[in-house]
Amino acid sequence: MPRRIVIIGAHAAGVDAASAARKTDRTAEITLITDEKYAGYSRCGLPFVIGGRIPSFSNLIVFSPSYFQMMKLNLKTETKVTKIDVSKKTVLVAKNGNIEEIPYDSLIIATGASAFTPPIKGREKKGILPLRTIEDGQRIDQAIREGAKTAVVMGAGLIGLETAVALQERGLKVTVVEMLPQVLPAMLDADMAKMVQEMLEQKGIRILTNKPVEEFLGVDKVTGIVAGGEQINADLFISAFGVRANTQLAVDAGVALGETKLIKTNPRMETNVKDVYAVGDCAESIHIVTQRPVVQQLGTVAVRQGKVAGINAAGGYAVFTGVVGSAVTELYDMQIGVTGLTEAAAKRAGIETITGTVSSKTKAEYYPGALPIRVKLVVEKESQRIIGAQVIGGEEVTQRINAASFAIQKQMTVRELAKADTAYAPPLNETWEPLVLAAEMVLMKLR
């Protein structure tokens, strides 16, 4: 009898798990279940559709129905899993009022995360719009088409800022409200975040930090908020406070959570329950530097975990080797990236650090079109190992982050980085690579 693999979730983690399972076991019966209308699309692309850089939400569907057919994956959309029974090894699903029991040999939980709004006075009112699904995106797009002229984005994380830029590109007047003292608080140190905030303000986005949202105003529908004592009215209110992992189904089935409140797994992505795996935004990861569990809800982590679980669920063998938290975005023409620990995160983890920051150019000084770039390196003082890097610049930020990520993963010391062999050509780089110069800055402090 063919192996039955059931996957709850059909986006990055779920589809990559299914694909890996199919490649591992050609005969398995593989079923993906999602309560959404659309499967296999890129959530990360949503702000760029709203901003108009990507023509349509349908462009985001990376895995079309024909992909699922070709890979012989049984996809159930708009179908809700109501229960996992780990003793019977079944999941109960509901679609249009019909209940079905689906048996599994291996189960992969890829239930993801949902946007959430904190318990703020008035949050039951209509018109607080998150941006997590295509439907969310369509709702925001519709509001703009209907004439919204002003927007408040609540939360200055990645999604918040990407959405703020998108709305401004659509012609809205945008205010971003953030409870913490800086933008991108989970991604950047305050000194680097300042550059981002200044750029956004120059572009005309109003940014209020240190301003927790205290109340939603309006009768049925929100017409304003109170944040840090200030009332701000607008036509559109985006909830970008953050996301919460969807773990209830797992918890109800006896699947254990870790100290991060996400599902705990071993390196094979197995939960505490036999033949049950968890991957993606609902599962925690081990950080390669701290060796502690962390919440790392990123698309790249989701696909890597999904692949490992898919191989294992199909009878193969694979391990997930952990995360360093490499992330990147583009706001207007500014690229912003991070890998490893920020100085602040290292401090919270009790790690003594030395940092080095340099400003340079993306091409030879004399080459027309050279853009500014700034690199901050975080080094563990005792081991002299690189444990983090932040890069903000006009181009080639992503691959600098990847280069630094490789350095962290391979425990490169700051001295090794200062002597590293790098590539150079006038149209493409400076002779001395900024990452190398930042390492030199750290060495000067170590002397």
Q: Which residues bind a second copy (CB under 8 A)?
A: 12, 42, 44-45, 48, 53-55, 59-60, 62, 288, 298-301, 303-304, 320-330, 335, 337, 339, 364-368, 395-403, 405-407, 409-412, 416-417, 419-429, 431-433, 435
Closest approach, Cβ 242 to a second copy, in A, equals 18
Of the pair 335, 353, the CB lying nearest a second copy is at 335
| DSSP 3-state of 217 | strand
User: Is residue 163 within 8 Å of residue 142, measured between CB atoms?
Assistant: no
Closest approach, Cβ 95 to a second copy, in A, equals 28
Kindly name the residue from 3, 4, 23, 44 that is annotated as catalytic: 44
Closest approach, Cβ 57 to a second copy, in A, equals 10
Does the CA dihedral 75-80-85-86 come out positive or negative? positive
Closest approach, Cβ 316 to a second copy, in A, equals 11
d(CA 301, CA 312): 17
Q: Which helix (H) or strand (E) holds 126?
A: none
Q: CA dist 352 to 355, 384, 406, Å? A: 10, 10, 21
Which tokens sit at 229? 């004592």
Of the pair 99, 444, the CB lying nearest a second copy is at 444
Of the pair 274, 419, the CB lying nearest a second copy is at 419
Residue indicated by tokens 């890998």: 339
Residues counted in the chain: 447
**Pure H helices in 121-252:** 134-145, 158-169, 190-202, 248-252
Strand pairing category for 98-103 and 106-109: unpaired
Closest approach, Cβ 48 to a second copy, in A, equals 6
Residue indicated by tokens 């009022």: 97
Of the pair 58, 69, the CB lying nearest a second copy is at 58
Start-to-end CA distance of the chain, whole Å, equals 66
Rg (the chain; Cα; Å) = 23
Closest approach, Cβ 320 to a second copy, in A, equals 8
Q: Which residues contact 208 (CB under 8 A, 6 or more apart)?
A: 175, 176, 177, 178, 227, 228, 230
The question of whether 44 is a catalytic residue gets the answer yes
Of the pair 19, 246, the CB lying nearest a second copy is at 19
At position 49, the amino acid (one-letter code) is V
Of the pair 191, 330, the CB lying nearest a second copy is at 330
Which residues participate in catalysis according to the annotation?
Answer: 44
